[in-house]
Amino acid sequence: QQAGYRVNEYVLQNARNYLTDYLYANPPDPDFPWQYDRDVLVHYALMEAGFPLFSIAEGLAENRTQMSAWAQALFGLLMLEGKRPDLADTIFSDLQSTSVRSAAGVHWANQGGHWETFSSDVINNAIVIYALAQRDPASPLVTDAVRYLMSFRDRNGGWRSSYGTAWALMALTEVMRATGELGGEFGFSASLNGNPFATGEAGGIQQLSLIHISEPTR
């Protein structure tokens, strides 16, 4: 729906009901911390679909230290929307204190990763960036974390998997949206063998438009 596709409301309602029933029927087991991550993702999806269960989601707060960094980040966004800014402040403060700085930038440890949630270094850091860009885009952590994320980009332009690539692109999009990076205006020029053959101005969304210019073979 957000992308403009027509989706039958009956289908969406069934999906929301399925996820809600799943949450009630499968409470997280403390012996399997990845289940807290799973529940946060389900709650976040329900919130994005306009069917939040904030009172239930808030109950996960006491186990937030067992969550992966990416789940903590999404949980922070949940609490922001759920009118618990105090809890959100604590969560994002914790993320700041657990960030790891290296020559490649800033990242968050994946805590061994959980295959049940397809967790990886890429996904872990992409989702934290996605949340931080909405919470505090001016934070130096965002810039340094983006630099670290970009170091994982492979030669094909992706991030190791389709799932990781999707989250990386969503994170970078949130950063560009928050910083107004797509609102810039600039001039461009190109030359071939020292001879200029293309100049122009670009701005706004038009800066992403392709320009095709050809030169005759001599």
User: First CA to last CA across the chain, in angstroms?
Assistant: 51
Nearest to 36 by CA among 12, 59, 3, 7: 59
Q: CB neighbours (10 Å) of residue 202?
A: 15
Measure the CA–CA gap between 66 and 111, rounded to whole angstroms: 10
Instruction: Look up residue 204 and give its amino acid.
Output: G
- The percentage of residues in the chain with a pLDDT greater than 90, rounded to a whole number, is 71
* Per-residue pLDDT, 204: 66
Q: CB neighbours (10 Å) of residue 180?
A: 9
| pLDDT, tens digit (0-9, with 9 covering 90-100), for 149-190 | 999 999 888 998 999 999 999 999 999 988 877 677 778 888
| pLDDT, tens digit (0-9, with 9 covering 90-100), for 65-107 | 999 999 999 999 999 999 899 999 999 999 999 999 999 999 9
Measure the CA–CA gap between 78 and 43, rounded to whole angstroms: 8
| pTM confidence score | 0.83
* Per-residue pLDDT, 201: 81
* Per-residue pLDDT, 112: 60
Nearest to 41 by CA among 73, 63, 13: 73
At residue 42 the predicted structure's pLDDT band, cuts being 50, 70 and 90, is: very high
